[in-house]
């Protein structure tokens, strides 16, 4: 069975999208991230996609470092509290900040671009520019 244009999406972007799905669900339900991840993976049919391990590592990394990640996002989200950010943007920012700080093999511009591209696809018209600004400032701080 042929897939649509999504099949052309690079594996890491698919992984980020899945990580976003889990973080979004957890955020909306105010549920534990790792419990939500376990349930999400449990609902998936076999064979599991090849990009799933990276998605899991993103979710687990965000969960492990959530306080520090949210502290940075709050510090650099000029004019917004993290609670007021759209749920999609908040969780895209969390994934990108995790990659900026803790994933050595992902270059900063790639982490930022990926968050911006997913925001273009999934969030508001203002989200890509807003996320680009926050993440750029955090990347400058981190290095």
CB atoms within 10 A of CB 141: 12
d(CA 2, CA 4): 7
Compute the average pLDDT of residues 79-106.
Answer: 94
Compute the average pLDDT of residues 2-23.
Answer: 78
SS3 assignment, position 126: coil
Q: What is the pTM of this model?
A: 0.92
Pick the CATH number of 10-142 from 3.30.565.10, 1.10.940.10, 3.40.50.300, 3.40.640.10: 1.10.940.10
The rounded mean pLDDT for the chain is 92
d(CA 112, CA 127): 12
Residue 68 has a pLDDT of: 97
Residue entry with tokens 């925001």: 119
Residue 1 has a pLDDT of: 36
Residue 4 has a pLDDT of: 38
What tens digit of pLDDT does each residue of 63-73 get?
999 999 999 99
What tens digit of pLDDT does each residue of 23-54 get?
999 999 999 999 999 999 999 999 999 999 99
Q: Is 8 a residue whose pLDDT tops 70?
A: no
CB atoms within 10 A of CB 50: 10
In the chain the first and final C-alpha atoms are separated, in Å, by: 45
Whether the link from the prior residue into 47 is cis, omega within 30° of 0, is: yes
Of 36-40, 75-79, 95-99, 115-119, give the lowest mean pLDDT range: 75-79
d(CA 59, CA 36): 10
Residue 2 has a pLDDT of: 39
What are the structural domain ranges in the chain?
10-142
Q: Is 90 a residue whose pLDDT tops 80?
A: yes
d(CA 114, CA 100): 12
Q: Is 108 a residue whose pLDDT tops 90?
A: yes
Compute the average pLDDT of residues 122-127.
Answer: 95
């Amino acid at each position: 069975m042929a897939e649509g244009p999504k099949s052309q999406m690079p594996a890491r972007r698919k992984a980020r999208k899945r990580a976003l799905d889990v973080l979004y669900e957890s955020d909306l339900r105010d549920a534990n991230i790792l419990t939500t991840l376990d349930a999400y993976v449990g609902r998936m049919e076999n064979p599991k996609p090849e990009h799933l391990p990276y998605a899991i590592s993103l979710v687990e990394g965000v969960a492990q470092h959530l306080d520090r990640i949210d502290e940075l996002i709050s510090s650099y989200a000029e004019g917004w509290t993290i609670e007021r950010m759209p749920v999609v943007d908040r969780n895209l920012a969390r994934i990108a900040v995790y990659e900026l700080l803790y994933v050595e093999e992902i270059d900063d511009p790639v982490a930022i671009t990926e968050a911006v591209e997913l925001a273009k696809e999934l969030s508001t018209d203002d989200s890509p520019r807003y996320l680009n600004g926050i993440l750029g400032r955090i990347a400058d701080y981190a290095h």
